Amino acid sequence: MSELRLNSRRRPAAVALVVLVCLSMCRGMAQNAPATTSAAMPNAPAVAPPPVHLTAEQDHQRLMDLLGIKELRPGTEKDANWDEAKGNVYPNLPDPLVEKSGGRVKTSAEWWNERRPEILADYDREVLGRTPANLPKVTWEVVSAAREKMGDVSVVTKRLAGLVDNAGYPRIAVTIDATLTTPADARGPLPVIMELAFAGEFKASLLRPISETGSDEVGNYGQTWEKQVLAKGWGFAVLSPTSYQADDAAGMTDGIIGLANKGQPRNLEDWGGLKAWAWGASRLLDYLETDKAVDAKQVGIEGHSRMGKAALVAMAYDPRFAVLYCSSSGEGGAKLYRHIYGEPLSHIETVFYYWMGGNLMKYAGPLTPGDLPVDNHELIALCAPRPVFVGAGLSAKNEAGKPGDGWADARGMFLAEVAAGPVYRLLGKKDLGTKEFPATETALIDGDLGFRQHGGGHTPAPNWPAFLDFAGRYLHASAGITK
């Protein structure tokens, strides 16, 4: 079965294979056909044109042209603001509890039926792009299952492949790669933490025997997060978002976005990479709902940096995720666009514009973050009433040789959580409990919004224990063991 799997590293070969198969099928059809050729057969199936391949520069320019933008504001580290006193350029946040009509949201019904859909529509149109309706079906296969030891715990690790139906455009093959590890001796379904992994982390999750140290890709602080999750009596899943959507501007006519778009470049309101990565997380959750080892109502999701942005999007859009650890997600993630410190929007829109919907580029050119109809306190509010933990590292500027997570702007994320508080309160939940930025290494985890700034650099590792304490109030190993 594993031979059938087409992962991202093998994708060019896979695409070539599909093309060859198509060509040979066409040849076969021609050989078997009577003397007439397809030109003489008006009903002959048309072979879909190949995907359009643009360079990142060409695709970026194409979006600029569609928007009529001549230039973006500069966005390098040198152009960024590093002075907190100058960060509050746009002090007026959109009020998550005021409707576009001007009416104040007073009941949870008004939130769910009126205001929340308005915010989602703004995110779809102006920020993240719209996930297409009727995306192809995903069929999950357990490629292998291995019983093994992780530390003292006996576990079963399943390697999973989500095969995406590509009948609508056979030139693009897409597979979602993931693993699921659960304690072998559990007597019932268990909570699971799903990680949205960077490529190196996913590779490490495939090592056999199981890796005791994990990958160094996002920082290694001794004990791995996987062991800490197992110590809670829970399982963990590792998802490879780049297996189904490459982290590459030039790859936007490939992967699930390319498949859905039949190889054509994106329109201004089409989904960006974060939405696509979040879509895959939801598909993995579909699989978890079918796995008897898992209590799918108790699935948490975690991601760091760009994967932290994607994890937040997954949590905001898919109400089945039970709890979130959003680590150093920064600009385009939990940070307020209007808090001008560290990474500016113009950096995302110059280098990583493909993570987002096309329209967001306007706000890094002629318009400013202050013109956005939403801000990311509302992305957090879309997760309400479910618990959200936001983590970050030290805010020192990222200088060569110095640890520092300043680029991700811990304070900008904290302020967003504070401003999401009223929605949590409206829904009967507890907010962060303070508007004061806490001292480094002080966890705020008594409410349904959690926050901690660790003393290290751009890594999720030091905040895992605080997150797991927080998550432990919602996910219960005993739920699995007693059932």
What does the binding site for ligand GTR look like in residue numbers (CB under 6 A)? 305-306, 330-331, 343, 347
Question: Residue 233 or 406: which CB sits closer to ligand GTR?
Answer: 406
Question: Residue 51 or 333: which CB sits closer to ligand GTR?
Answer: 333
Question: Residue 339 or 347: which CB sits closer to ligand GTR?
Answer: 347
Three-state SS string over the chain comes to CHHHCCCHHHHHHHHHHHHHHHHHHHHHHHHHCCCCCHHHCCCCCCCCCCCCCCCHHHHHHHHHHHHCCCCCCCCCCCCCCCCHHHCCCCCCCCCCCECCCCCECCCHHHHHHHHHHHHHHHHHHHHCCECCCCCCCEEEEEEEEEEEEECCEEEEEEEEEEEECCCCCCCCCCEEEEEEEEECCCCCCEEEEEEECCHHHHHHHCCCCCCCCCCCCCCCCCCCHHHHHHHCCCEEEEEEHHHCCCCCHHHCCCHHHHHHCCCCCCCCCECCHHHHHHHHHHHHHHHHCCCCCEEEEEEEEEEECHHHHHHHHHHHHCCCCCEEEEECCCCCCCCCCCCCCCCCHHHHHHHCHHHCCHHHHHHHCCCCHHHCCCCHHHHHHCCCCCCEEEEECCCCCCCCCCCCCHHHCHHHHHHHHHHHHHHHHHCCCCCCCCCCCCCCCCCECCCCEEEEECCCCCCCHHHHHHHHHHHCCCCCHHHHHHC
Shortest approach of ligand GTR to residue 305 CB, angstroms? 3
Shortest approach of ligand GTR to residue 279 CB, angstroms? 19
Shortest approach of ligand GTR to residue 247 CB, angstroms? 9
Question: Residue 305 or 359: which CB sits closer to ligand GTR?
Answer: 305
Shortest approach of ligand GTR to residue 80 CB, angstroms? 10
Question: Residue 263 or 330: which CB sits closer to ligand GTR?
Answer: 330
Shortest approach of ligand GTR to residue 458 CB, angstroms? 7
Shortest approach of ligand GTR to residue 218 CB, angstroms? 8
Question: Residue 402 or 473: which CB sits closer to ligand GTR?
Answer: 402
Shortest approach of ligand GTR to residue 141 CB, angstroms? 30
Question: Residue 283 or 304: which CB sits closer to ligand GTR?
Answer: 304
